[in-house]
A and B are shown apart, each in its own frame.
Chain A
Amino acid sequence: MTAAADRTGSTRQLPKQRLDPLRWLREKLFNTWYNTILTFIALAIIYKFAAVIWQWGFVDAVWIAENRRECLNISPGGACWAGVIAWFKAIIYGRYPAVELWRINLGVLLLAAWLAPLWLPRVSMKTVIGLSTVVFYPFLAGYLFVGGEKGILIQVTVTAAIVCLAVNSVHSLIGVVNGGSLVRTLLGLLRLQHRSEKAQRNTLLALLAAFFAIVFALQAGWTLEEVSWVKWGGLFLTLVISGIGITMALPMGIILALGRRSRLPVIRVLCITFIELFRSVPLITVLFMATTMFPLFLPEGFNLNKLVQVIVAVCLFSGCYMAEIVRGGLQAIPKGQYEAAQAMGLGYWKMMSFVVMPQALKYMIPNIVGNFMGLLKDTTLVSIIGLFDILNMIKAASQDVPWRGLHKEPLLVGAIIFFIICFAMSKYSQRLEVKLSAGERR
């Protein structure tokens, strides 16, 4: 060690550079005469745009009015935000009954609460928590949003979801407070540390079963008013369709990509046909076909409502695009990784899960997130087949009698909403890339 230290000689740190805004301006914006001219032109353009938007959007804007006629009377050249404010609830929630809106809000809050532990530092078993969200949350949210009579199956799944959320939350709380886990804390409280593993497992399972029974009994008496899917709309509907599409796209894409690379000819041909079929037609065609031709393929009397048909179509479509992204990522992994895993005796699925996929997913992240963002925006196409997603709601605002002709303002608000969501996705993906590159030599 000492020999190595002597070899490095007199290493010093890079001398600190002082930040000097005047110098930065001089070097970056005004360094040559043509750059100076370009800077002034750019500043002029930015000012012009900003001034127009400021004038239209804030100074001359009307915030309170009863209808568009009144807006125009008060301020003919300004934005009529009053219309957007009047229609805001519809743009976000669709035509969901006002008294039941708390159910949607609760659903979103529960999702946030379920996923929050993934960001907290000292919580263990994050993968299990993440997977439990995908498996159980849809049942709880589904019942919250739809409501109605609860069959035994729905009661069981809703109970399971509530139990899962409770267990996750307590576990995360324990993790944050003292870095432990729920299992260890329970074992400590019941003084079971020294019993056999079998005894420990049985006791914990019994506790879980008892908790399940209590929650089941509690929720049996509680029903929610049924809200038909016809009333769903706005941002809520857009997020439901794209949320389900996004969640299903990645697993479907992985399976299709692995199938496409399979050595078994039947699987390979099936996967290639499926992928190429859905990639060759526009999404709007798939949606039309789903709503008109789906009923032909289903058994007699088994009717799917339009929303489910659309969701299935969106899932299949995005799954096929995702399959190609996954296949690209798999090809980027050097053959030596596959060989080393095989030489160690890892079977196909273990090799994929532990060696190939973790590396490949890292390369695929920009493409995957781009695909998700595209999916979110493509769901606006459902407005063409009569579902009232956010775009259709915005159009409805401009056709509503008191607000006829109000185009610019709702569209701008819609654009801002989409921008916020997509930007958040993009930022998250960048963080994910940085986190997953840990240990790599740049």
Chain B
Amino acid sequence: MSVTSIVDEKEVLESAASTEVVIQINNMNKWFGQFHVLKDINLTVHRGERIVICGPSGSGKSTLIRCLNRLEEHQQGDIIIDGVTLDSNLKNIDQIRSEVGMVFQSFNLFPHLTALQNCTLSPIWVRKMPRAEAEELAMEYLERVRIPEQAHKYPGQLSGGQQQRVAIARALCMRPRIMLFDEPTSALDPEMIAEVLEVMIELAATGMTMLCVTHEMGFANRVADRVIFMDFGQIVEQNTPREFFENPKSDRTKLFLSQILAH
């Protein structure tokens, strides 16, 4: 039984998007050395919008969202997040990074700290919160991702699904306005994918602006306001999930969908 069928039975989430523009990408181009990896990207994201980015591997989807918090640098074009232009100005970068949370495919939890310490590190040292208040905040988010009892365990003692949920709680402890997900369930065993997707769906229901690179089409169907298809560094097609899955316009989209929805 695939995850798609479990999720399909439930209701599609209502859109919480507003008209306020929170991410604006204009004519963005990026090269890795001589390799042109992102070509003429134009994208507008509104507050509360939930976007799923999909595409074949090597299409630049991860690179695109990593450009949004300057883990990768773009060479041409503008990226404006919450009114702040993303360039080499360190102050701007720091400001954007504290408003944009990221969840990685390989979790990237800090193995020498407990789950609680992973979550409180940034609030204490970046937001200058007192320790007791930071721990209270961290416990609140660990409860939201449904693992408060693991707070004092080290990442090495947790399962993959639990680690990813701690990673989501850690990103949420900074109270970001935008959450980026880079293939959050791709490294998980199938039985753990559902628990992480549940957490992400609950997060979406609270009105968080989310950009999610994923292959979980059931999740896209249920949660996304927009599905974007990327291929060879370009945005080929973007549409509502219903339109995207039922009436794909480009041939490349049709090919991709036939490949991933086959099984």
A residues whose Cβ falls under 8 Å from a Cβ of B: 334, 336-337, 339-347, 350, 354-355, 358-359, 362, 436, 438-441
29 cross-chain CB contacts under 8 A = A336-B104, A337-B110, A340-B102, A340-B108, A340-B109, A341-B110, A342-B70, A342-B71, A343-B100, A343-B171, A344-B121, A344-B170, A344-B171, A345-B97, A345-B122, A345-B126, A354-B125, A355-B121, A436-B112, A438-B154, A439-B114, A439-B154, A439-B155, A439-B156, A440-B111, A440-B154, A440-B156, A441-B156, A441-B157
Distance (whole angstroms) from the CB of A343 to the closest CB of chain B = 4
CB-CB under 8 A from B122, the residues of chain A are: 344-346
Distance (whole angstroms) from the CB of A36 to the closest CB of chain B = 45
CB-CB under 8 A from B153, the residues of chain A are: 439
Question: Does residue B101 face the partner (Cβ distance < 8 Å to A)?
Answer: yes
Contact digits for B96-133, partner A, Cβ 8 Å, 1 yes 0 no? 01101110101011111010000001100110000000
Secondary structure at the A interface, as helix, strand, loop or mixed, is helix
B residues whose Cβ falls under 8 Å from a Cβ of A: 69-71, 94, 97-98, 100-102, 104, 106, 108-112, 114, 121-122, 125-126, 153-157, 170-171, 174
Distance (whole angstroms) from the CB of B156 to the closest CB of chain A = 4
Q: Please pick, from B110, B114, B156, B157, the residue contacting A355 in the complex, using a CB distance under 8 A.
A: B110
CB-CB under 8 A from B110, the residues of chain A are: 337, 340-341, 355, 359
CB-CB under 8 A from B170, the residues of chain A are: 344
CB-CB under 8 A from B104, the residues of chain A are: 336, 339-340, 343
A347:B94 contact, CB within 8 angstroms: yes
Beyond known contacts A337-B108, A337-B110, A439-B112: 19 more, CB 8 A cutoff: A336-B108, A339-B108, A340-B108, A342-B97, A343-B69, A343-B100, A344-B170, A344-B174, A345-B97, A345-B122, A346-B121, A346-B122, A350-B125, A354-B125, A358-B112, A436-B112, A438-B154, A439-B155, A441-B156
CB-CB under 8 A from A440, the residues of chain B are: 111, 154, 156
CB-CB under 8 A from A345, the residues of chain B are: 94, 97-98, 122, 126, 174
Please report the C-alpha to C-alpha distance between residue A339 and residue B70 in the assembled complex, in whole angstroms: 10
Q: Please pick, from A343, A355, A362, the residue contacting B102 in the complex, using a CB distance under 8 A.
A: A343
CB-CB under 8 A from A340, the residues of chain B are: 102, 104, 108-110
